[in-house]
Amino acid sequence: KWEGWQTQPKLNYGAPGNPSWQQQEYNYNALQDSIWPEVKYIDVPEAAQLGVAIDGSANYWTAMGAGDGSEEKPVLPRFSPYQTQPAQYIEVFNRGSTPFEYTITPELPVECPYGWNGDPNDPSDGWTKGDAPCLPWLRVTPSRGVVDKEVRATLRVDWNLVPTTAPDPNDPTQQVELQFPLEVPIRITGSDGSEVVVTAVIDSPARLPWKPNRFIEANGFVSVGSGRYRRAVNTDSIYWKLLPDIGRTGSGLTPFPPTVEPVTPGGDSPRLEFDMHLFSSGEVKVYVYTSPRNNYLNWENGLQYGISFDDQPIQTVNTSYAIDLNGNGNKIWERHTSDNANITVTKHTIESPGDHTLKFWMVTPGVILQKIVVDAGGMKESYFGPPESYWMGPGPVSSQ
């Protein structure tokens, strides 16, 4: 600590995307703390007004449409039997000051594929086929109530009960195959009759065969912790070393020793391999989270790694591209240091859904891998990135 550190300003160090690490000063004197934007009071109408917000969106909706005036429709993040993120939710809030009653009703193509003949308060009491009352396979909790300010309702799918067929609209005595992903309208209704319809997108309930150390795509992404590799390829002089707790959310892996010469990636050169099953095809983006490092051995092209899928060409990435010392300091380096992560991105093409292997290649020493995210179009913006995806394991891990 230093003299006067407690009296330094705590706020107003600049924009979140480009902050200064120095206090704000005027004529070499620290400015007082300030709060921006200015806090203001708003007038809340007395009459109750239905408002709806959903998981995964910063927008909100009323019976008149999106709150920001756009054409955006309320669609929840996809439901998957392999999802690891928290349960999707709908927030019902009051835009007025008078409480009102609400209901949330999923419009399921087949509400109850199995009837319930047991104790409704004891879900362990047994399912039987039939037309008896039952618990629906898409459950909303709570599905009705009174809103004073706001209520958050969570949605969960019982994947053991999701139907794969439904009565034929033209002949109810016949069954037709349901097409997945399945879109289910969820109707949120206020006591005055106003309503908002939210869409839930349900993935197929079919399960993949077990295969050890394999990640499964859900919700349009695969998030991989560095320690969950399937294979670590070493050489006689280079090996991969685990650094516990060095990352923002876990450990890291780096090639050792840290003073070896750079290598040309390919063939049997050092690499980490991550097995995954992708339901998506086409272009994907791969976000690699590495620890912020200086180019301590002054390699001509900075600290580098290679990245590739399967047998595709290897892309080489320079993680030191932001090193640009100037009179104002290096803003990007400051951000990497304060975040404890340097995130770089590459684009790849997946020819077909199925099992794939993502390969992280050593190029120079000094690169510490924390995490990898494969974005197939569903990754949402967040500080830490998506949680680790569903992982089939553990199983035998290969080091060679």
State the pLDDT at residue 133. 46
Measured between alpha carbons, how far is residue 18 from residues 24, 83, 292, 332 in Å? 14, 33, 17, 8
Tens of pLDDT, residues 270-307:
999 999 999 999 999 999 999 998 888 988 889 999 99
Of the candidates 114, 140, 139, which has an alpha carbon nearest to the alpha carbon of residue 128?
A: 114
Beta bridge partners of 93: 51, 150
Q: Which residue has the higher pLDDT, 369 or 136?
A: 369
Average pLDDT over residues 123-148: 70
State the pLDDT at residue 295. 87
Average pLDDT over residues 169-190: 92
Tens of pLDDT, residues 319-335:
987 555 444 446 777 78
Q: How confident is the model at residue 358 (pLDDT cuts 50, 70, 90)?
A: very high
State the pLDDT at residue 15. 59
State the pLDDT at residue 236. 94
Average pLDDT over residues 29-40: 66
Q: Is 37 exposed, middle or buried (0-12, 13-18, 19+ CB in 10 A)?
A: exposed
Mean of per-residue pLDDT scores for the chain: 87
63 has pLDDT over 60: yes
The pTM score is 0.82
Q: What percent of the chain has pLDDT over 90?
A: 65
121 has pLDDT over 60: no
Residues 6+ apart with CB under 8 A from 236: none
State the pLDDT at residue 197. 98
147 has pLDDT over 50: yes
Q: How confident is the model at residue 249 (pLDDT cuts 50, 70, 90)?
A: confident
State the pLDDT at residue 39. 76
Torsions phi, psi for 331 (to 5 deg): -65, -40
150 has pLDDT over 90: yes
State the pLDDT at residue 11. 63
State the pLDDT at residue 118. 42
Q: How confident is the model at residue 123 (pLDDT cuts 50, 70, 90)?
A: very low
Q: Which residue has the higher pLDDT, 270 or 39?
A: 270
Residues 6+ apart with CB under 8 A from 364: 262, 297, 299, 302, 303, 304, 305
Domains along the chain with CATH numbers = 50-202 (2.60.40), 214-395 (2.60.120.1620)
Distance, in Å, from the CA atom of 108 to the CA atom of 155, rounded to the nearest integer, reads 13
Tens of pLDDT, residues 222-239:
999 999 999 999 999 999
